[in-house]
Structure 1
Amino acid sequence: MSSEALLQLQSEQSKLLDGIDELRTIGVGGLVELPQLIVCGNQSSGKSSVLEAISRVRFPAKSNVCTRFATEVILRRHPSSTIKVSIEPGPKRTDPEEIQRLKSFAPKSFSDSDDLKDLINKAKDCMGITDSANVGFSEDVLKVEISGPEQPELTLVDLPGLYHSTSNEQSAKDRDLVHDITKRYMKNTRSIILAVISAKNDYHHQTVLNIAKDIDTNCERTLGIITHPDITEPNSEEEDNYLQFVNNEKVRLELGWHVLRNRSFQTQDFSDEKRDEHEREFFNKGRWKSVSRNSVGIDSLRSRLSSILLKHIRRCLPDLITDINNKVDDRLQKLDKLGPPRTTLQQQKGFLLKISSRFERITAQALNGMYDDEFFGGFDQNSHVQDFRRLRAVIRSLNEDFAEAMEIRGCRRHILESMFDTGPNIHVSPSNQYLEGWKPTTVPRYQLEEEVTEQARKSRGIELPGSPNQLLVGSLFRDQSKPWEEIAQRHLLVVWRTVRYFVSEVLQHLTDEHTYTALIGAQVDPELNRMQQTLLDKLAELTAHLKSGHPLPVGKNFLTRIQKARQERQLNQLKSSLGKRIGSDAGLTIGDLEQATAKLEVSGEFAPAEIIDEMQAYYDTAIVTFVDNVATLAIENCLLGPLGSMFTSQTINNMEDKQVQELAREPAFICDERDRLNNELEKLQAGLRTFNPYNIQKPPMPGFVMNSADRDRLKPSVQADRLSSEKTATPQSSTSQSTSKQQFRRRVLADTDERKGGMFGDLGTARTSGSTTSESFPRFNAESRANNISNAPPLFGSLNTANYQ
């Protein structure tokens, strides 16, 4: 191996290249994508020869055997010269034993490159690829690490050759696999694509350029390499075509083109030095002599690649540092959820105390509407998850919907006061699902009076003639208020589910999967179930008097309503009796008034109307009290109040030691996960330390102070821009907010008719990460169990509420 050849890859900023190599050495390359060179092209295009000429490593080759797996050649600086071969299992390897077997392939290092052939053949056997079979391709990656005191920091990847025609040795499935491998490497935006085309074949039939242009659409990181230029006849059309390529005229690439002369069958035994001399002789004659020396030969290609890679690294550096920072933040968040190692009782209790303290703080903020914690996120009107986490805002919205539903559909039948009355003018909010599927039922007042009259006849007691039985008012009120309990129960269960999902979100935010599962099952779930039962018991208490008690209005409001209704009814009757005489020139006589008022005193006619008036007056006062009681005595006192003290530091301190251990003890896989995250974090932080000296960013523009004249000159344009922005943004914002509210309610609201199988059904399915993707609120009904179960909080069990129906 020639040190002089490898030194040509060095540059004055070699420390930056050393940094990339250092990241790859410590394993950061497995966590973030690092800059590298990939060599790709059709089969027998000379890819491996290009790789060999650059690295000065002679790879085993046969004229009838193509590369059947990706080979990464990692050039690494080290005091001693060694070569090491390893295997990285492909992404489709799923068998743990197979993965471990491939990863354990680690033969001893050696310094003689002549031993590389045997070592690569052993690796191929380990991957299940043999030259005798000559069948199939592998997604496993063969890694050849070449270390030496003067090696540059460079990674070159030789990919399997692309092909079109299939045969017994090369199937259509393998062809697709090779294309997938090539595309996967090309899609790494930190890879430089060395697209190799051979002058032996028509360039139209070599698809590597088309694939590269599909992925690298601006051709910014693709360098074209032409091989076998000696095959073309001097002064021929073929030679002229490839000269146009080299001059960047045929297919324009940002990085341009380069030409190499490969070893032929006759020159395959030439030494590296003799090979280079033979190449120089070729490019110093004929039409190739006129081509720039920077675009021909291996000597200039090494320097050119070094310069290209350096510029590419500089361009990628800001994004690379951002990528590493993001992964550092991710590991820190996961480690924070796992907490420190907890092998002793004191460590376990401290771990739970930390969770409970943060849970108590977040819950208090959610209940008070002070959303300061990072858990609540920033302002984003399109994020349903963040809206849902703002618990107080959500519950207020649900209470408003409940009040609206009670006002509209609380009465069993709407009373039509006259024959011209077409029914209540009701505007049903599309986002209020308490009104979903509801249609109003009406009854004419005269018909209701007939029903009351008939009921009064059947219920006559010891009351005086002309006086109705006062029990009729209570009976009629109970009939009209029948929907109250169903609406209220539905509302309470929706609010309870909202709270339950909120608690789930908080715990998932604060701790790891294992601890979350333990806390939900042993601590949170039993407490929430108790709250649910308390809620339903309170509702039963609030509706008990409605079902069997007598109307007992308090205050003057009831009497005022009765008097007003009576006056309106009597006035309407007088108008009906007097008819056209009212307002006429003839005037009214005493006889007219006596005749009209006499009709009002006919026994029995006014009694049904009086009962209806009293029922309506009591209904209007009772429904307001009932709605307030549901919101305060039930939701606030029985659910939200206890929620704040459900999981506090006092809760942990009152636990027995055994319970603390059951909740906080960490299994072996948690310890392994913490070790893995700490190891990755150390690598990523080491990578940041490596790149920090090169992360030189332009400082922000300093601020300046405007005087009053400057501000006056800017005012008109600023105001115009603001008005223009408001005109454009307001409709969209309104629509977005309305849509967000409607979608949220549709997902939180459950159909109470489907509670027979349990409140949520079977939610034992494991949680998926990041499930707060676009729609984060599961419908708690049969549809959610079929279509959206992965988004629901697990381990809430199957809570049967059939007893509450």
Structure 2
Amino acid sequence: MGASENPIGPMPRCTTFPSATELHSAKSTHRLNQIDRVRASGIGDHIPLPQLVVCGDQSSGKSSVLQGITGIPFPRKDGLCTRFATEIILRHDSTKEQVCATVIPHDSRSEIEKQDICRYRRELHDFEQLPIVIEEAIKLMQLRGAEGVNKGPSFSADILRIEVVGKTGLHLTIVDLPGLISVSNDEQTEEDVEIVSDLVNTYLESSRTIILAVVQANNDIANQGIIQRARKFDPQGQRTVGIITKPDLINHGTEGRIAALARNEDTTKLKLGFFLLKNPSPLDLDTGLGADERRRRELAFFAASPWKEQHLDPGRVGADALSAFLQNLLDAHIERELPKVRREVEALLAQTEQDLEAMGQERSNVGHLRMFLTSFSMKFMGLTQAALDGNYLELERDLSTKDDLLDVSYRLRAQSHILNGGFSENLRLHGQKRSFIGKHAQPMKDEKNIGSKQAEFDSWIREVYTRTRGRELPGNYNHLLLAELFQELSSPWESIARKHVGEVNDLVQRFVSKVLDKIVSEESVRAELHQYVSDELERRAQEAEKELGKILADERREPMTYNHYYTDNIQKSRQCSMRNSVQATMKDVISKDWGGVVHLTNTEYDRNELLDSLGKRVVVDMDAQACEEARVGLEAYYKVARKTFADNVCRQVVERHILSKLPHIFSPTVVIGFSDEDLVRVASEPQIRKERRQRLAKLAQGLGESLRGLRK
């Protein structure tokens, strides 16, 4: 409102005080306004901003100091001005006069609370309305003691902002903090003590805060809480200004000690030095002491004995000197810190926008939910297909970290080859219940007592031969013999195959879990998809088990093969057996009938004599002959069947039911088939996530506006 419409009355500072040289340039005003707008947008909760903060112990005279600096007559009634931070903005403007009060909610407030608090705005006709504003702020913040509020905190992290525009003579922003409580009492609990302490610490710990430490001259300076706290956060005293109050209450004769402190010559030294102020007396306040009269009385007090003998620096005495100093200090401080603030706003904005992008689009209806899941299903399908195809470059681009190569667990095809190869080798080494050890078989290198093992193997074949004999003639064997021999010999196959299928299922489960963890950042959605995919994998695993059961059942049937490898092996075994038999018989004939030396001529007589000698020593055991034939057939068939079984398990079980269908367990087609209930259950956005999205969006908006303002 304009001054002509609603005159405010006396401005905080008298109109005769400011001169042209004391008023700051348009640039300074612009800088201050930039920071104020950033603070008003709530960015100060995320990025420390350059600011002047008045703090001190309770009853240290803070209110008088603030009135001396700003000209605002803060009410002295207990509990009104000490329960939250108060931000005072002074802007000199000779064309209008306006006083406006608003409340800035702390970032910890809920969105609903923030909206309610931000709606508060009151324009003051005069400063006599200030107590009303403070009472309204207390009620708005729901502090204990407000109307209808008997519980809860007495202090708040929200900020009351009072903006004064007019002939103030200053361009200044200053924050008043609640006074530090030394001891709890009936009205101020231990919790209140901690809340105030934490609130003050929050402001003081920022390296961009200029600390205006108010100390009482009539108390030991070194022991006052604000000095101790300032030393904690500003150990070198580089951003602390000491303000000494109540010099009229010290004992007579101690003026020299206070003067030394004011000259920064005492043991407590600050780089920015001290200022000495005289507070108005209670009588002065009751009589409505004006700003001009206060200024006159303050200067007269220090110009009289015993203070005039202390050789005080006039630039360090009185509220006017302090105001001028703070004006220049804040201007230089903002000019120095503003580029850093701008860079931090840019960095936080980039991070916030990145976080928002990572959250994806808002999902407010079923269509959004379906699109949301479809995007994940496309990623999942593409990555799993690439893993099956061995396209590891694509996987590395999407799944590997910046500094690490693609995790081996993502190389699904390579890992499945390793498992399949291990399965085949395991079958070769451990798939037979008994080892082939005979005249024509290759015994294991580490096998001992080969003869004993051979006899044991032959005995087993003869035993099975005996119990499977049918109506076949001697020297022949029943077709059931080979079936029983093979089934017992290959009995370890089932456990080996089931173990292999289980290992492949585990491999796929780990792969799918890692892919979902990579592509789905939202925990609740990821958990639902994990459950869905796990159920699908379990169903595929059951199908694989059924397929394996069919293959195992086929192996329990009578042997069957059309593989020429079987007949080739039979022929080779028979030739080998015949050769070995002839060699053994020849050795015996030559040794016994020919005196160890044989000399054959190409005559019919010699040939007939040799054949007669061989014939006498060839004794055919028809049962042994049948067992040997069965043995040869078993060995040849086992090799063919083992290789076929390994291929069938890898192709028909692992590939058909587990690997090849993997990209389709969560594909866009699957998402299209989801019911609305499924979509809501899997992809709906939790309330806490909605609130986080709103906070990020609001923060991004505030940061964007702040950055645009800071760049002007």
Pair in the same fold by TM > 0.5 = yes
1:742 maps to none
Where do residues 611-630 of structure 1 align in structure 2 (5 Å cutoff)?
621=643, 625=647, 628-629=650-651
CA distance in 1, matches of 2:406, 2:381: 19
Quote the offset at 1:213 in angstroms: 4.4
Equivalent of 1:19, from 34, 52, 72? Answer: 34
Quote the offset at 1:222 in angstroms: 4.0
1:369 maps to 392
Task: Name structure 1 gaps, 5 residues minimum.
Answer: 426-441, 572-588, 592-597, 694-805
SS at match of 1:321: helix
2:264 alignment partner AA:
N
**Kindly tell me: are residues 376 and 131 of structure 1, through their superposed partners in 2, closer, same or farther at Cα, counting changes over 3 Å?**
closer
1:289 matches 2:311: yes
1:167 matches 2:185: yes
CA distance in 2, matches of 1:65, 1:149: 25
CA distance in 2, matches of 1:192, 1:444: 94
TM-score, reference length from structure 2: 0.66
CA distance in 1, matches of 2:546, 2:205: 63
Equivalent of 1:143, from 131, 155, 160? Answer: 160
CA distance in 1, matches of 2:337, 2:202: 19
CA distance in 2, matches of 1:192, 1:623: 82
CA contact (8 A) 2:139 2:146 kept: no
Equivalent of 2:82, from 58, 67, 74? Answer: 67
CA contact (8 A) 2:34 2:709 kept: yes
SS at match of 2:335: helix
1:738 maps to none
Quote the offset at 1:110 in angstroms: 1.6
CA distance in 2, matches of 1:213, 1:23: 28
TM-score, reference length from structure 1: 0.60
1:37 matches 2:52: yes
CA distance in 2, matches of 1:288, 1:682: 55
1:502 matches 2:524: no
Quote the offset at 1:637 in angstroms: 1.1
Quote the offset at 1:211 in angstroms: 3.6
CA contact (8 A) 1:356 1:647 kept: yes
Where do residues 352-367 of structure 1 align in structure 2 (5 Å cutoff)?
none
**Kindly tell me: are residues 656 and 68 of structure 1, through their superposed partners in 2, closer, same or farther at Cα, counting changes over 3 Å?**
closer
Which region of structure 1 is more displaced relative to structure 2, 311-320 or 409-418? 409-418
CA distance in 1, matches of 2:177, 2:645: 76
1:137 alignment partner AA:
S
CA contact (8 A) 2:13 2:167 kept: no
CA distance in 2, matches of 1:208, 1:443: 90
**Kindly tell me: are residues 294 and 538 of structure 1, through their superposed partners in 2, closer, same or farther at Cα, counting changes over 3 Å?**
same
Equivalent of 2:220, from 202, 212, 235? Answer: 202
**Kindly tell me: are residues 166 and 482 of structure 1, through their superposed partners in 2, closer, same or farther at Cα, counting changes over 3 Å?**
same
Where do residues 637-676 of structure 1 align in structure 2 (5 Å cutoff)?
637-640=660-663, 642=664, 646-648=666-668
SS at match of 2:73: coil
1:165 alignment partner AA:
V
CA contact (8 A) 2:86 2:162 kept: no
1:337 matches 2:361: yes
**Kindly tell me: are residues 688 and 135 of structure 1, through their superposed partners in 2, closer, same or farther at Cα, counting changes over 3 Å?**
closer
Equivalent of 2:464, from 451, 459, 469? Answer: 459
Cα-to-partner distance string for 1:225-280 (whole Å, 9 max, x where unaligned): 433345445764x8537735753773555555444443343544432233334444
1:545 alignment partner AA:
I
**Kindly tell me: are residues 129 and 665 of structure 1, through their superposed partners in 2, closer, same or farther at Cα, counting changes over 3 Å?**
closer
2:134 maps to 120
CA contact (8 A) 1:295 1:301 kept: no
CA contact (8 A) 1:411 1:482 kept: no
1:302 matches 2:322: no
CA contact (8 A) 1:85 1:107 kept: yes
Cα-to-partner distance string for 1:90-137 (whole Å, 9 max, x where unaligned): 84x78x98x479627736422311210122133334534449999963
Where do residues 49-60 of structure 1 align in structure 2 (5 Å cutoff)?
49-60=64-75
**Kindly tell me: are residues 105 and 323 of structure 1, through their superposed partners in 2, closer, same or farther at Cα, counting changes over 3 Å?**
closer
1:437 maps to none
1:276 maps to 295
CA contact (8 A) 1:88 1:142 kept: yes
1:685 alignment partner AA:
G
SS at match of 1:139: coil
2:13 maps to 2
Cα-to-partner distance string for 1:605-634 (whole Å, 9 max, x where unaligned): 999999998899679857864785466444
1:49 alignment partner AA:
S
1:685 matches 2:704: yes
Quote the offset at 1:549 in angstroms: 0.1
1:317 maps to 342
Task: Name structure 2 gaps, 5 residues minimum.
Answer: 1-11, 438-443, 581-594, 598-617
CA contact (8 A) 2:218 2:251 kept: no
Cα-to-partner distance string for 1:456-508 (whole Å, 9 max, x where unaligned): 565332397899954334323222651431342243144135325634653x3
1:156 alignment partner AA:
I
1:499 alignment partner AA:
V
CA distance in 2, matches of 1:561, 1:680: 82
CA distance in 1, matches of 2:262, 2:435: 88
2:31 alignment partner AA:
L
Cα-to-partner distance string for 1:172-221 (whole Å, 9 max, x where unaligned): 33222222222233344544333333333223432334444444566654
SS at match of 2:349: helix
**Kindly tell me: are residues 491 and 120 of structure 1, through their superposed partners in 2, closer, same or farther at Cα, counting changes over 3 Å?**
same
Quote the offset at 1:378 in angstroms: 4.5
**Kindly tell me: are residues 148 and 226 of structure 1, through their superposed partners in 2, closer, same or farther at Cα, counting changes over 3 Å?**
same
**Kindly tell me: are residues 202 and 483 of structure 1, through their superposed partners in 2, closer, same or farther at Cα, counting changes over 3 Å?**
farther
CA contact (8 A) 1:129 1:136 kept: yes
CA contact (8 A) 1:415 1:445 kept: no
CA contact (8 A) 1:21 1:153 kept: no
CA contact (8 A) 2:433 2:491 kept: no
**Kindly tell me: are residues 688 and 617 of structure 1, through their superposed partners in 2, closer, same or farther at Cα, counting changes over 3 Å?**
same
CA contact (8 A) 2:32 2:173 kept: no
**Kindly tell me: are residues 483 and 291 of structure 1, through their superposed partners in 2, closer, same or farther at Cα, counting changes over 3 Å?**
farther
Which region of structure 1 is more displaced relative to structure 2, 31-40 or 661-670? 661-670
1:771 maps to none
**Kindly tell me: are residues 136 and 667 of structure 1, through their superposed partners in 2, closer, same or farther at Cα, counting changes over 3 Å?**
closer
Quote the offset at 1:60 in angstroms: 1.3
CA distance in 2, matches of 1:638, 1:191: 62
Quote the offset at 1:87 in angstroms: 6.6
**Kindly tell me: are residues 692 and 178 of structure 1, through their superposed partners in 2, closer, same or farther at Cα, counting changes over 3 Å?**
same
SS at match of 2:540: helix
1:488 maps to 501
Computing the radius of gyration from Cα coordinates, the structure with the larger value is 2
**Kindly tell me: are residues 548 and 293 of structure 1, through their superposed partners in 2, closer, same or farther at Cα, counting changes over 3 Å?**
same
Quote the offset at 1:143 in angstroms: 0.8
Q: Over the residues paired in the alignment, what is the CA RMSD in angstroms?
A: 5.9
1:81 alignment partner AA:
Q
CA contact (8 A) 2:14 2:291 kept: no
Quote the offset at 1:449 in angstroms: 7.6
Quote the offset at 1:690 in angstroms: 1.6
Query: Aligned residues: percent identity?
Result: 20
CA contact (8 A) 1:129 1:135 kept: yes
1:275 alignment partner AA:
R
Cα-to-partner distance string for 1:731-777 (whole Å, 9 max, x where unaligned): xxxxxxxxxxxxxxxxxxxxxxxxxxxxxxxxxxxxxxxxxxxxxxx
CA distance in 1, matches of 2:45, 2:87: 14
SS at match of 2:197: helix
**Kindly tell me: are residues 60 and 623 of structure 1, through their superposed partners in 2, closer, same or farther at Cα, counting changes over 3 Å?**
farther
CA distance in 2, matches of 1:186, 1:112: 32
1:476 matches 2:489: yes
CA contact (8 A) 1:246 1:295 kept: no
SS at match of 1:484: helix
1:298 alignment partner AA:
L
1:120 alignment partner AA:
I
CA distance in 2, matches of 1:563, 1:206: 106
